[in-house]
């Protein structure tokens, strides 16, 4: 088990902080050519949905919503990944609402695709600790 705790110093700086956590165990993340159309459709839907956060003149990667979460690309899953902890951080109510929606959608997609049950947790000032089970 791994204990997660929001440090009091972080809570002093970001009193509205929220950390959404999704834990997945027993996934098979190997590439499957038969799923190519599924991922193309998923990407097309995401691109369409992102239009409400962008405009035609704006560079997608420089959009404030995208820029805030762009750092997540640094910790991608690999073919060998069998357990994953996915995290979305927010520091205000607007971001928290987007994070809640995104985590719910991510959980549904992961459970359907990997045929596993994910566990979600949310850390806040009122609930600053949690445990991730291995």
Q: What is the pLDDT of residues 1-11, one digit of tens each?
A: 899 999 999 99
pTM for the model stands at: 0.79
Locate 1 and state its tokens. 């088990």
Structure confidence at residue 65 (pLDDT): 67
- C-alpha–C-alpha distance, residues 27 and 20, integer Å: 20
67/97 same-domain check: no
**Domain that residue 40 falls in:** 31-76
Contact 102, 88 (CB under 8 A): yes
91/133 same-domain check: yes
DSSP 83: E
How many CA atoms lie less than 13 Å away from 28 in the CB half-sphere? 4
106/89 same-domain check: yes
70/21 same-domain check: no
50/114 same-domain check: no
Structure confidence at residue 74 (pLDDT): 64
In terms of average pLDDT, the best of 32-41, 75-84, 101-110 is 101-110
40/105 same-domain check: no
Number of domains in the chain: 2
35/70 same-domain check: yes
């Amino acid at each position: 088990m791994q204990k997660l705790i929001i440090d009091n110093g972080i809570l002093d700086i970001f009193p509205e902080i929220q950390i959404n956590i999704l834990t997945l165990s027993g996934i098979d993340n190997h590439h499957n050519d038969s799923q190519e159309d599924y991922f193309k459709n998923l990407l097309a839907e995401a691109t369409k949905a992102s239009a409400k956060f962008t405009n035609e003149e704006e560079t997608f990667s420089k959009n404030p919503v995208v820029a805030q979460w762009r750092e997540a690309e640094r910790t991608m899953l690999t073919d060998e990944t069998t357990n994953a902890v996915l995290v979305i951080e927010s520091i205000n109510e607007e971001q928290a609402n987007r994070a809640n929606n995104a985590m719910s959608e991510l959980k549904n997609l992961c459970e359907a695709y990997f045929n596993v049950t994910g566990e979600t947790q949310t850390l806040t000032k009122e609930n600053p600790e949690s445990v991730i089970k291995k």
